[in-house]
Amino acid sequence: MQPARGEISFYEDGLITVGSGSEISFKINASDVKEALVKAGVGCGLLYLKLPEAQNPDEHILCRFSMSGLNNAGELCKIINYYIKTGTADIPDKPDESICKKCGRPFIEEMNVCLFCYSKTNVFKIAYSYLKPYAKTLVTAQFFLTISSVMFLMTVLFNRHLIDNFFEPRTGTLPQVATVALAMLGARVVGELIFIFFSRRFNRATIQYSNDLRVKAYEKVQSLSMGSLSKRTSGDLIRRIMQDTANIREFLTDAGRWSIEHMIMFAVALIIMMFVNFRLTLLVLAPVPIIAFLMSRFWRLIIVRFERQWRKESKCQSILHDIIKGIRTVRP
């Protein structure tokens, strides 16, 4: 079944109309309505009218809508119910679209700051304040993980020494070749052991950090007023607590960690290449400026699509969490 597009309009004289374009399929005056109600379902919402003589509200459904229209449907119900009680149509002026004053881009839905202009330094400061209890463990683990990466690169030097001094001139003896081979094996084994041990420590610290973020996010949600909570669906709240903190943990365990290690490995590999043959190294690095320029241009194109994919995935996660609805309780 394909979703239908339509409009629900409320006029100052109390007339409520439902239709698509110029075609009106249903109309009624608010004075003949007892109450306008909105109900959040699983993946969609329901807007219906309760008439004075009606016993079953399902007989007076105005429309079904996606969860993105839940806030607008709630505001419409408030306007209709206010007219029913007072006879006055308190229709607010259409709010201007939220636009960043600095760059002119519209704000992303459900956000009041511009992601393009917001200070990234403040974000890292806040993240570091939460990360501070685990900073010592993470820095130590990252240091030894970098050493393990360097140990993996040491096998290249041993291999060069083995070929240039023993295999190519054919002057090496069996004990000499065995010594270099054992050195290569030892560097590999030591690097693997360091990698396994400190990867566990690093991952354990990032998991604890992620759990702390979830606890703080949950406490923040609990401190919000009922009015603020009613503007968000259960799926949105669950996604904030679970999915967003999981993304931060994945950045620390994967993207952030591997970016640091690869930068250090690039510097070490560059030094080794310059030591082996600086002319060949310069020849290898010659296309780097062109590749960097092309990558920067490509990134400008791909970042727009990546942001679109991020928004779609965010909506998908919200709908997915709405299937198992959260139950909000008010305790005295």
pLDDT digits (tens, 9 = 90+) for 106-138: 676 666 777 777 777 777 777 778 888 888 888
Mean pLDDT of the chain: 77
Question: Residue-wise over 193-230: b if at least 16 C-beta within 10 A, else e?
Answer: ebbeebbeebeebbeebbeebbeebeeeeeeeeeeeee
- Yes or no: domain 7-86 corresponds to CATH 2.30.29.210: yes
Question: Would you tell me how many other CB atoms lie within 10 Å of the CB of residue 17?
Answer: 15
Residue 191 sits at φ, ψ, to 5 deg, of -60, -40
The residue extents of the domains of the chain are 7-86, 123-323
Q: How far apart are CA 135 and CA 261, in angstroms?
A: 17
pTM of model > 0.85: no
In this prediction, residues 228-244 reach a mean pLDDT of: 70
pLDDT attached to residue 105: 67
CA angle 208, 214, 218 (to 5 degrees): 145
Give 170-209 pLDDT, tens digit per residue.
776 778 878 888 888 888 888 889 888 888 888 888 888 8
Give 139-157 pLDDT, tens digit per residue.
888 888 888 887 887 887 7
Q: Residue 331: pLDDT band by 50, 70, 90 thresholds?
A: very low
Q: Evaluate the CA torsion angle 49, 52, 57, 61 in order and state its sign.
A: negative
Q: Above 80 in pLDDT, residue 276?
A: no
Give 69-89 pLDDT, tens digit per residue.
777 788 888 888 888 888 887
Write out the two tokens for 95: 């709010």
CA angle 10, 91, 234 (to 5 degrees): 80
The more confident residue out of 51 and 226 is 51
Closest CA to 42 of 327, 321, 328, 329: 321
Closest CA to 231 of 44, 69, 106: 69
Residues of the chain with pLDDT > 90, as a percent, come to 1
Question: Residue-wise over 150-176: b if at least 16 C-beta within 10 A, else e?
Answer: bbeebbeebeeebeeebeeeeebeeee
**Contact partners, residue 278, CB within 8 Å, separation at least 6:** none
pLDDT attached to residue 290: 92
**Contact partners, residue 178, CB within 8 Å, separation at least 6:** none
pLDDT attached to residue 43: 67
Q: Which of 187-196, 208-217, 236-245, 303-312 has the highest mean pLDDT?
A: 187-196
What order do you get walking across the sheet with 7-10 strand by strand? 7-10, 15-20, 23-29
The top-level CATH class assigned to 123-323 is mainly alpha
Cα 30 to chain centroid, rounded: 43
Q: How far apart are CA 267 and CA 146, in angstroms?
A: 12
Q: What count of residues does the chain have?
A: 332
Q: How far apart are CA 277 and CA 203, in angstroms?
A: 38
